[in-house]
Chain A
């Protein structure tokens, strides 16, 4: 007899509110405040009423003067509205890394490098008391549930940096929240009674969907602040005049597919072994008319094609890549023999897109492109197509179908410096592990083990993701990028061991380690609980010569590769 099914309530969007402490009074107060007071609640559907969005997707935070609200370079998935008091945005010059809880970029000096010669026998992760104090100029205070970092010498900061005051009614952080881009400036509270309304991206997305004024306002800001510079840097628009570029920017549509919080869901599905491509949201369906060229601004998408009863992955595309250009260019040049979309495009995790409508492409963009920059015409076979065009097939053949599926299923394309091991050459000698330990306080920062496809293994090491979800929610800014698009590193001195990054990392590449004093004894707090710090691979950013693991492999079996670039992988596989 089959076992009885487990019956439970279907999970709902608001099962986990952003802040379970939001009361009716709070929601009522928000509804009486602009811009919510100006929104037409009737326009919101019954399933997602305005009141419930405010109750479940928002929270109210209080800050004291000098407390940092957002840091430049951090990733965040929420926007802020000042309800009371004031905040200040730092314009120029940027705050020093130490004031943001980060370590100053730079290499180890000669003496620190040589000191490693006699540190080899020390117990791992030794810290001194002075290292555990906040950097000069920074202070930290514990609120109910979180740690707030504040700028101690505020007059000096104001004196040395150009800042701008923001007051009640000002909105900030919306672009970073909606496009999953790093925050562009640091903002701190400028009054002791600063009260801010924070809304997570799902709520902001819904508010924009049903409130025309907010959508127009945010889209205007997006176009003014972020879009123009992005388009200027995109090769497809290089030949446009300023006036043409403005026309294109004015007509671009924004879209987000999938879920910015994909990592938690992915982690759960991966553990259950139920990651399924068909559950990924479809952006463009194979066979549909191409409505526009799709520019991937952030996130990843899977390119697939029907094959037998299912779909096979042909490639994946990441930020900066364009989809649909070939079809649109073909139809523009040969209107008598139009083609539909050759592939299906699905968001993997999430994808933030800019869509240039086909009409705009045909009228403005395509005529500006030199002939040699136009994609080749599509050759449509007479019979039913059973193989993808050469370009896409080439990608699949370069690395092999099994490897492509493997990388996509495991979402390894996120890694810009993934540790790949050729098992055909790896003698399992662990020289890489020892080299890592020697360079990092005798604590190896990775595990020489991980998922494998054939002879290719992706080891359990930080991949320095293009979308570093680990960087979301660090209260002290300890985890950060070393440069704008550089390595993701943790400043051990300012890490408070809150596990936010550890829990966020979908690849389990971050480890919590208990730290010790100079005598090798574990450091403990007043409750005698060990003090832990988050550790992970930092790509030997402080060492000369690059990652020690890669340099230490005697058999050329280990490499740090950008898996977003399949050409690099193909080249390495064919070494």
Chain B
């Protein structure tokens, strides 16, 4: 963890230094400089553009633009610093009018989704690795279908011959194997649905003969595998979905920011 810890301390040091420095400059010059709002606005805009360049870097992997890891570190700490810049630009006051309120909300949502993404990126991979049964997200439906077919053959196939298992499958397991289940419960690390199914399968053993018990054991294994797939789907989906919020909102923010610049210059008689 040495490198990552070093990255963290370096980033935090830079962030705190830059933030304290910016606040000191704010206190010292906010009243003294006539175009202070313009100055902080342009700095904020430059910082926001700098943040979006990370996405551009991702799209140009064949150019020698440095490691994406370095870019992400800069993106994270510059992102936090941009929040400080934003507050300085607002002079620690609330926004006025629907346009500014919308702009502020967009900024807040982009920042919040970024923080959510950071938390997800740092916590969910560990949970996935600890659970095991690694699966590529796009292949999960195929794997799920294979499990469903196997379970169906076991319970309802031509040589199944067990009304006990067939009934249980139709009533309880068919829906479970049919599609993804327990999205939220997996996300909050709840094992309740799996434990409930396992208990019911265990209970079913009381009505089964030796051959049926063997099948029940196999079904229990398939249930665990399917639950594992659902778990992977839930967490991997979360790891992907936050970007579907963060990136479109970023584009919206950039458009509103550009309009904001035009409006400010339009109503202030141009740059002074």
A interface residue count range (under 10 / 10 to 19 / 20 to 34 / 35 or more): 35 or more
Report yes or no: A426 in contact with B125, Cβ–Cβ below 8 A.
yes
Q: Which of A438, A554, A556: most chain B Cβ within 10 A?
A: A554
What's the Cα separation between A561 and B66 when bound, in Å? 19
What's the Cα separation between A449 and B133 when bound, in Å? 11
Chain B contact residues: helix, strand, loop or mixed: helix
Query: Interface stretch among A357-365, A380-388, A541-549?
Result: A541-549
In the complex, whether A553 has a CB less than 8 A from a CB of chain B is: yes
Query: Interface stretch among B56-64, B95-103, B182-190?
Result: B56-64
0/1 interface trace, chain A 248-281, chain B, CB 8 Å (1 if under): 0000000000000000000000000000000000
CB contacts (< 8 Å) of B174 on chain A: these are none
CB contacts (< 8 Å) of A113 on chain B: these are 62-63
Report yes or no: B239 in contact with A555, Cβ–Cβ below 8 A.
no
CB contacts (< 8 Å) of A556 on chain B: these are 3-4, 69
What's the Cα separation between A551 and B134 when bound, in Å? 23
* A544-B64, A548-B62 known; A423-B136 Cβ under 8 A: no
Report yes or no: B121 in contact with A555, Cβ–Cβ below 8 A.
yes
Report yes or no: B69 in contact with A439, Cβ–Cβ below 8 A.
no
0/1 interface trace, chain B 120-139, chain A, CB 8 Å (1 if under): 11001110110010101100
CB contacts (< 8 Å) of A550 on chain B: these are 67
What's the Cα separation between A439 and B240 when bound, in Å? 23
0/1 interface trace, chain B 127-158, chain A, CB 8 Å (1 if under): 01100101011000000000000000000000
Say which residue of A117, A452, A554, A574 sits within 8 Å of B2 (CB atoms): A574
What's the Cα separation between A544 and B64 when bound, in Å? 6
CB contacts (< 8 Å) of B71 on chain A: these are 554
Report yes or no: B60 in contact with A434, Cβ–Cβ below 8 A.
no
* A423-B129, A575-B3 known; A428-B137 Cβ under 8 A: yes
Chain B interfacial residues counted at CB < 8 A: 31
Report yes or no: B72 in contact with A555, Cβ–Cβ below 8 A.
yes
In the complex, whether A94 has a CB less than 8 A from a CB of chain B is: no
In the complex, whether A528 has a CB less than 8 A from a CB of chain B is: no
* A423-B134, A428-B239, A555-B72 known; A545-B64 Cβ under 8 A: yes
In the complex, whether A7 has a CB less than 8 A from a CB of chain B is: no
CB contacts (< 8 Å) of B137 on chain A: these are 428
Chain A: minimal CB distance from B214 (Å): 16
CB contacts (< 8 Å) of B236 on chain A: these are 428
Q: Which of A116, A428, A438, A550: most chain B Cβ within 10 A?
A: A428
In the complex, whether A96 has a CB less than 8 A from a CB of chain B is: no
* A424-B129, A428-B137, A428-B236 known; A555-B69 Cβ under 8 A: yes
CB contacts (< 8 Å) of A544 on chain B: these are 64
0/1 interface trace, chain B 1-26, chain A, CB 8 Å (1 if under): 11110000000000000000000000
What's the Cα separation between A208 and B222 when bound, in Å? 56
In the complex, whether B68 has a CB less than 8 A from a CB of chain A is: yes
* A424-B129, A428-B137, A552-B68 known; A439-B239 Cβ under 8 A: no
Q: Which of B62, B125, B126, B132: most chain A Cβ within 10 A?
A: B62
What's the Cα separation between A238 and B46 when bound, in Å? 60
Report yes or no: A438 in contact with B62, Cβ–Cβ below 8 A.
yes
* B232 nearest in chain A by CB position: A428
Chain B: minimal CB distance from A526 (Å): 36
What's the Cα separation between A369 and B136 when bound, in Å? 54
CB contacts (< 8 Å) of B64 on chain A: these are 544-545
Chain B, range 205-255, C-beta contacts under 8 Å to A: 236, 239-240
Report yes or no: A575 in contact with B4, Cβ–Cβ below 8 A.
yes
Report yes or no: B61 in contact with A438, Cβ–Cβ below 8 A.
yes
Say which residue of B2, B3, B67, B128 sits within 8 Å of A428 (CB atoms): B128
Say which residue of A427, A434, A552, A557 sits within 8 Å of B239 (CB atoms): A427
CB contacts (< 8 Å) of B125 on chain A: these are 423-428, 555, 557
* A450 nearest in chain B by CB position: B134
In the complex, whether A455 has a CB less than 8 A from a CB of chain B is: yes
Report yes or no: B239 in contact with A429, Cβ–Cβ below 8 A.
yes
CB contacts (< 8 Å) of A116 on chain B: these are 62
Q: Which of B58, B71, B124: most chain A Cβ within 10 A?
A: B58
What's the Cα separation between A431 and B59 when bound, in Å? 9
0/1 interface trace, chain B 61-97, chain A, CB 8 Å (1 if under): 1111011110110000000000000000000000000
Say which residue of A425, A548, A557 sits within 8 Å of B61 (CB atoms): A548
CB contacts (< 8 Å) of A398 on chain B: these are none
Chain A, range 90-128, C-beta contacts under 8 Å to B: 113, 116-117
Q: Which of A427, A434, A435, A557: most chain B Cβ within 10 A?
A: A427
What's the Cα separation between A136 and B22 when bound, in Å? 65
What's the Cα separation between A378 and B114 when bound, in Å? 57
* A543 nearest in chain B by CB position: B62
CB contacts (< 8 Å) of A548 on chain B: these are 61-62
CB contacts (< 8 Å) of B59 on chain A: these are 438
What's the Cα separation between A555 and B125 when bound, in Å? 11
What's the Cα separation between A554 and B58 when bound, in Å? 9
Chain A, range 517-574, C-beta contacts under 8 Å to B: 543-545, 548, 550-557, 574
CB contacts (< 8 Å) of B129 on chain A: these are 423-424, 454-455
* A449-B134, A449-B136, A457-B134 known; A431-B68 Cβ under 8 A: yes
What's the Cα separation between A557 and B121 when bound, in Å? 11
* A556 nearest in chain B by CB position: B69
CB contacts (< 8 Å) of B128 on chain A: these are 423, 428
What's the Cα separation between A425 and B124 when bound, in Å? 9
* A424-B129, A426-B125 known; A574-B1 Cβ under 8 A: yes
CB contacts (< 8 Å) of B120 on chain A: these are 427
In the complex, whether A205 has a CB less than 8 A from a CB of chain B is: no
Report yes or no: A424 in contact with B62, Cβ–Cβ below 8 A.
no
What's the Cα separation between A426 and B134 when bound, in Å? 12
Report yes or no: B121 in contact with A552, Cβ–Cβ below 8 A.
no
Closest 4 CB pairs of A and B: A435-B61, A423-B129, A545-B64, A554-B72
- Taking A431-B68, A548-B61 as known contacts, 20 extra A-B pairs with beta carbons closer than 8 A to each other, sorted by chain A number, are A113-B62, A116-B62, A117-B60, A423-B125, A423-B134, A427-B121, A428-B125, A428-B128, A431-B58, A544-B64, A552-B68, A554-B68, A555-B69, A555-B125, A556-B69, A557-B125, A574-B1, A575-B1, A575-B2, A575-B4
List 22 A-B pairs, Cβ < 8 Å: A113-B62, A117-B60, A423-B128, A424-B129, A426-B125, A427-B239, A428-B125, A429-B239, A431-B58, A434-B58, A439-B61, A448-B136, A449-B136, A545-B64, A550-B67, A551-B66, A552-B61, A554-B68, A554-B69, A554-B71, A555-B69, A556-B4
Which A residues fall within an 8 A CB radius of B?
113, 116-117, 423-429, 431, 434-435, 438-439, 448-449, 452, 454-455, 457, 543-545, 548, 550-557, 574-575
Which B residues fall within an 8 A CB radius of A?
1-4, 58-64, 66-69, 71-72, 120-121, 124-126, 128-129, 132, 134, 136-137, 236, 239-240
